[in-house]
Amino acid sequence: MLAALMLPGVSLAAEPTTFEVSGWIPYWGAELGVQSILPNLDKFTEVNPFVYTVKQDGSLFLNSPIDSGPWASLRAKAKEMNVRYIPAITWANADAMDAIFRDEAKRIEHMRAIAREVYARGFDGIDIDYEGKYARTKDYFSLFLKDLQEAIGYDKWVMCTIEARTPLDSRYSSTESIPKDIEYANDFKEINKYCDRVRVMAYDQGRIDLKLNDANAHPYAPVADPLWVEKVIRLAAEEIDKSKLIIGVPTYGYEYDMFMALDGSGEMQYSRLWSFNPGYVTETATKLGLTPTRNSAGELFLTYPASQSLDIAIPLPSATRVMSWSDAEAIRAKAELAKQLGVAGISVFKIDGGQDPALWNVLAGYTGGKPATPLKEPGSVQGVSSGSKPAIQIPARNLVTGTTGEDVRTLQKLLNVYGFTVAPQGPGSPGNETLRFGAATRAALIRFQQAHSIKPAAGYFGPLTRAVFKSL
C-alpha cells in the first residue's frame, strides 16, 4: 500500500440515492460462490466474476469458461433481476504493466482487447484491478484508463479497483521520518476522471497503521479496523468523488504468530502465516475447546499458544497464535461506515462459499431488494442518460466522407449504440471507433437515415440528421 497525506475536514455528509453492494466471485471458487450467491442476488446491485488475468504481452487470459457452467447461471439470474454483470480483470505484474502502458501501440491494443471482450460478450462493463504498479507507470496507466473510458464509457461501466492508502502521519512514527520523495502508483485525480466507480481495497491492514497499533493492546493485527478504513476513505475522498467511492470489505481472516523480538529489544513482533475463511477457525476453535471473542477492531479473534497448533508447521513454538477475521457483524460495521461517510456502497471480497452465512442477513438491510439498473446513470464520466440510450453530445459540425476529427468518432459511437453498426469488428466497431469518415461510416449513416425517413438518405451528416439524433 502506498501512502498520502490525510487532510481532515472532508465533508462526506450527503448519501448517494442508491446504496450499492457488489461482490467478487473468484474463478477458483466459482461453483460454491455462485451456488451461495444465487439465492441472495436480490441483495446485490452488481456481481463481479473474478475471471480474467493478463498475459506478459498484454493479451487477456480467461481462467474459467465464462459462457458456461456456474457463470452462465449467474449471468442469466443477474439479467433477470437487473443486477449489473461486470467481470474483473486482475493484473499484478509490475514489469509487464510498465512495458505495455509505456508503449502507446501496446497500450491501445490492450484497451481494444478489453473493449472487444466487453462488447462481444455483452457485459455491462469491466472492472480494472491492476495492483502493485510502479510509481513510474502512473501517468501511462492514467492514459490507459482515459482510452478505455473513451472507447466504452458511453454505454458501459468502467470500474476501477485500487489499493488503500494509509495517511502518512499514521504510517510513520514522526514528521521527520516521512520520506521526502514519496511517489504514488495511482493518480487519484485522474482515476476520478475516468472511472465510474472506484473500489478501495480497504483490507489487509495488519500492522500498517502505527497510531492504531499504539492505541490498541496486543494482539492487534486486524484485517480492517473501521477506524483505519475511515482514514483510508477520507483520504481518497480528497481527490475522488464520494459518489464513486466504494469500500472494499473482506470475508476472510489472517493467522499470525506473535512473539517477542529475538534481539532483546522487548518489541512485540507479528509473523503472518496464511489467510483463511471463517470455517477454518470455527473448526480450530472446536478442536481446541476455545470460544472466539470480538476484538477492539470489531472482528472476531482467537488466541492460543502456538505449541497447541493443529498445523504441523510451528515456526516458533513459544509464540502466541493469533487469528483475526471478518464475520458478518464486522461487515455490517463497514456498511454502516459507508452510509455515515456518504459513499456509494461496499464491495465484498470474496464470495466463494466460505463466507460467514450470516452475511446475507446483513446485506438485506442495505439494498432493500432494489438493485441499481445495469445502465449507466446521469452524471457518470461521459454523461449517460437514465433512458435506454447514452446522452452522447451530437456533433455540431456537418460531416461527409473524407472528414476527420473527434466528432467523426462521436458519430460512429452514436451509430453503433443505436444499432447501425459501423463495423462488426476492427476499426469502427464498438470500442474501436475512429477519427475518419470512410465508406463504412457512410453506409451505416445511410441505414440510419433510411430507418428514420430522412431524405435524401445520402450518407451526409447535416441539419436533418442532427435533428433526428437530438430527438431520440
Beta bridge partners of 26: 50
- Listed in sequence order, the residues at least 6 apart from 404 whose beta carbon sits closer than 8 Å to its beta carbon are 435, 436, 437
Whether residue 264 contacts residue 252, with contact meaning beta carbons closer than 8 Å, is answered with: no
pLDDT mean over 414-441: 87
Whether pLDDT at 373 is above 80: no
Structural element, H or E, at residue 109: helix 104-121
- The grid cell for 49 is 466474476
| Range from 131-145, 350-364, 374-388 carrying the lowest mean pLDDT | 374-388
Distance CA 30, CA 15 (A): 33
Any idea how long the chain is?
472
3-state secondary structure of 303: strand
Q: Which of 53-62, 73-82, 390-399, 449-458 has the lowest mean pLDDT?
A: 390-399
Residue 56 has pLDDT above 50, yes or no: yes
109-121 pLDDT, tens digit per residue, is 999 999 999 988 9
Among 184, 148, 149, 154, which residue's Cα sits nearest to residue 166?
A: 184
pLDDT for the residue 297: 97
Q: What is the pLDDT of residues 311-340, one digit of tens each?
A: 766 667 789 999 999 999 999 999 999 999
- The pLDDT tens digits of the residues spanning 200-244 come to 999 999 999 999 999 999 999 999 999 999 999 999 999 999 999
221 and 299 Cβ atoms separated by less than 8 Å: no
353 contacts 30 by C-beta, under 8 angstroms: no
Mean pLDDT, rounded, for 88-112: 96
The overall longest dimension of the chain from CA atoms, in Å, is 90
Contact 331, 348 (CB under 8 A): yes
Return the bridge partners of 127, or none. Answer: 88, 159
Instruction: Specify the residue for cell string 430507418.
Output: 451
Note whether 160 and 195 are within 8 A (CB).
yes
419, exposed or middle or buried, with CB in 10 Å at 0-12, 13-18, 19+?
exposed
What CA–CA distance (Å, rounded) separates 433 from 422? 8
pLDDT at 290: 96
Q: Using alpha carbons only, give the angle 150, 416, 472 rounded to the nearest 5 degrees.
A: 100
> What residue ranges define each of the domains in the chain, with the CATH number in brackets?
3-250+326-367 (3.20.20.80), 253-325 (3.10.50), 406-471 (no CATH)
Is the pLDDT confidence value at 389 over 80?
no
